Chain A
Amino acid sequence: MANYYNIDDILAEEEFVPVVFHKAANGVIIDPSSETNSVEQGAKVELPLWLAQDLYLRQAISISVPACFNQRTRLEIQADAACVDLKSRSPYFYEFGCKIAPLVGDKTIEILLLSAFKIRYKEILTKAYTAAYTTASKFLTLLTKEESNLYEAAQVSMSAFKKWRMGGPRLQRASVLGRKRRSFE
């Protein structure tokens, strides 16, 4: 419950997972292939994680590994993790992976996440410090939410360091007001 108000945590739980119903459920419109508003036993549907999680704990469904952790992704990550487009697979690749791993009982997901993150982390920091904006913008589209936060943090700390070294105004317009007029960089 620590993350109850956390926007990213909420969004990560909206990722869809393929599930199979072991129990029928009445009065819900979840199965698009069903004609009545109920779910049959054995129906295969995609549910958001927040719904699947608790149904799984009640043993009403079983969850299979979502498409973003399939064999193809694994092979691509093994080849060169830094170039894989994780954002299109899931903008919350790591958070989603951590949540789904215990539910599907697949230990390899955790290893996959860790090795992917290690390699990409190094790449992100290097790019944040060195790459020009034009080349970086292409690279940025591949990053998950967490990774782009890291990238921004690296850039902010870099510019704060530069500012500290050069001196300059220490008080400025509150950032909450947005950048309307000239910037103070």
Chain B
Amino acid sequence: MHGRKAYELVKEFANGDKGHLKIFNNELFEQVIEECNEHHNALQSLIRKMQEEGLEVQTARNADHYGAFIHHLSLIRNKRCLMAYVHNRAEIIRELAWKVGLLHELPGEIQEKFSDLEEQYFKDHSKSLKSYMSQLSLDVNVDMVPPKDPYIKVRVLEDLGSGIILSDKSANFARHSMHFLKRTDAEQYIARGLMEELTG
């Protein structure tokens, strides 16, 4: 049936949890493109047939015309499905850059799900974000939740060691240790699940 594979591709995206990436389904993606080529060939051969019969392709309304029209619609439909798949994934990828971290800060299990082009896209997006932030000399991806206090208490959930230097101090971030940090410093580690905020 026409457009069935493209439908499966979109359906697979829709079945995933909202805002979560799955592995890029290259196989199905290629199959849809292959189907597009088939439609294109069928479309052209029908038009050629009409021309051979001496008909005006623009105005003739015979069986070949409607056949070609159906192929044309299927092509457009497949294109829309492919575009939507890529577009919606790109939206999630941009969101990752904002919410989780730029470039090398992204956990490996998420990066595995990117296709090569998506990886490049993520890198480029991170780069432009970074250069924008350095121009402004302001981190625009922190304080997404309006702050109540510039400092917060956090507990480290995973061993981070002492290699991290924050803007106002460096400490040994051993697992389960508690720290009083600048909110803007801690935010990215909380977002990545490496620290948690303590209250009360």
Contacts and interface: CB of A to CB of B under 8 A. Distances in A.
Interface of A: 4-8, 10-11, 14, 23-28, 30, 38-39, 48, 50-51, 54-55, 58, 60, 167-178, 180-181, 184
A6 B192 CA distance: 29
A5 B88 contact: yes
Interface in B46-70: 46, 61, 63-64, 66-70
Given A25-B66, A171-B145, A181 B193 contact: yes
B103 to A, nearest CB: 16
A66 B173 CA distance: 63
A177 B67 contact: no
A11 to B, nearest CB: 6
Given A55-B70, A172-B196, A176-B92, A7 B190 contact: no
B33 interface: no
A184 to B, nearest CB: 7
A5 B83 contact: yes
Contacts, number: 135
Given A25-B70, A171-B152, A176-B19, A10 B196 contact: no
B192 A177 contact: yes
Nearest to A91: B14
A25 B63 contact: yes
A58 B197 CA distance: 61
A173 B80 contact: no
B20 interface: yes
A11 B199 contact: no
Give the dominant DSSP class at B's interface: helix
Contacts of B63: 23-26, 38
A173 B193 CA distance: 5
B113 to A, nearest CB: 11
A174 B67 contact: no
B84 A172 contact: no
Interface residues of B, number: 56
A23 B88 contact: no
A51 B65 CA distance: 15
Given A14-B7, A169-B199, A172-B197, A26 B74 contact: no
A58 B11 contact: no
B71 A54 contact: no
A6 B84 contact: yes
A91 to B, nearest CB: 10
B99 A176 contact: yes
B100 interface: yes
Nearest to A50: B77
The 6 closest A-B pairs by CB, nearest first: A25-B66, A169-B197, A24-B63, A26-B67, A27-B67, A173-B193
A30 B2 contact: yes
Interface in B158-178: none
19 contacts: A5-B83, A5-B84, A7-B13, A11-B14, A27-B46, A28-B71, A51-B2, A51-B73, A51-B74, A55-B69, A167-B200, A170-B197, A171-B186, A172-B191, A174-B100, A174-B193, A176-B21, A177-B110, A177-B193
A167 B110 contact: no
B192 A174 contact: yes
Nearest to B186: A171
A178 B99 CA distance: 13
Contacts of B81: 10
